[in-house]
């Protein structure tokens, strides 16, 4: 995941060639509007890199359009606002997933605010994937060079909870 400006300044061809060289097969560029993604998508595709589309709760009338053109997987944003942990996720995720599946077989992973095993288990009942970012970053920030064991325990708990909910 990165913003468009570093990719643009690196140069699309050089950037995606480097991605291919190091084994990256998908990229999320959250500030790249869907309607303006074509020039980046073409170059990324030349190097076998999927440009991952994001669908936000405000995308209601655009869900089908975005889902139809999706590659790799769809990043379904669970709630509005800045990234980080949420106590409750009140977005109609199931409705969004139903719309997506009506036009696409690309897996949908839900993220943005998910940080507890219970939240991950709930999301995994209907989505093909669960994305957790900020909670991992917080552990790294808290424990620094000693974060490894804490990360292992956290991810194991999340994975076990998700596995049991399916």
Q: How many CB atoms lie within 10 A of CB 39?
A: 10
Task: Give the predicted TM-score (pTM) of the model.
Answer: 0.84
pLDDT of residue 59: 75
Q: How many CA atoms lie within 13 A of 73 on its CB side?
A: 17
Percent helix, strand and coil across the chain, each to the nearest 5: 55, 10, 35
Q: Write the CB contacts of 6 (distance below 8 Å, at least 6 apart in sequence).
A: none
Name residues of the chain where pLDDT drops below 70: 79-91, 165-166
pLDDT of residue 88: 52
Residue 111 sits at the vertex; the CA angle it makes with 107 and 117, to the nearest 5 degrees, is: 105
pLDDT of residue 90: 52
Q: How far apart are CA 79 and CA 89, in angstroms?
A: 7
Both structure tokens of 75:
């990043």
Q: Write the CB contacts of 90 (distance below 8 Å, at least 6 apart in sequence).
A: 79
pLDDT of residue 162: 86
Residue 41 sits at the vertex; the CA angle it makes with 40 and 45, to the nearest 5 degrees, is: 120
């Amino acid at each position: 995941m990165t913003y468009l400006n570093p990719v643009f300044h690196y140069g699309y061809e050089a950037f995606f060639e480097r991605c291919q060289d190091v084994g990256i097969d998908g990229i999320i560029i959250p500030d790249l509007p869907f309607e303006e993604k074509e020039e980046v998508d073409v170059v990324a595709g030349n190097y076998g890199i999927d440009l991952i589309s994001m669908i936000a709760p405000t995308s209601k009338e655009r869900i089908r359009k975005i889902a139809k053109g999706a590659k790799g997987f769809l990043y379904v944003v669970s709630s509005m606002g800045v990234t980080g942990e949420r106590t409750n996720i009140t977005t109609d995720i199931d409705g969004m997933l139903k719309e997506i599946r009506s036009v696409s077989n690309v897996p949908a992973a839900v993220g943005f605010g998910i940080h507890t095993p219970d939240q991950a288990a709930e999301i995994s009942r209907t989505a093909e994937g669960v994305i957790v970012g900020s909670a991992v970053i917080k552990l790294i920030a808290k424990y620094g060079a000693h974060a490894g064991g804490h990360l292992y325990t956290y991810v194991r708990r999340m994975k076990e909870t998700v596995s049991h909910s399916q």
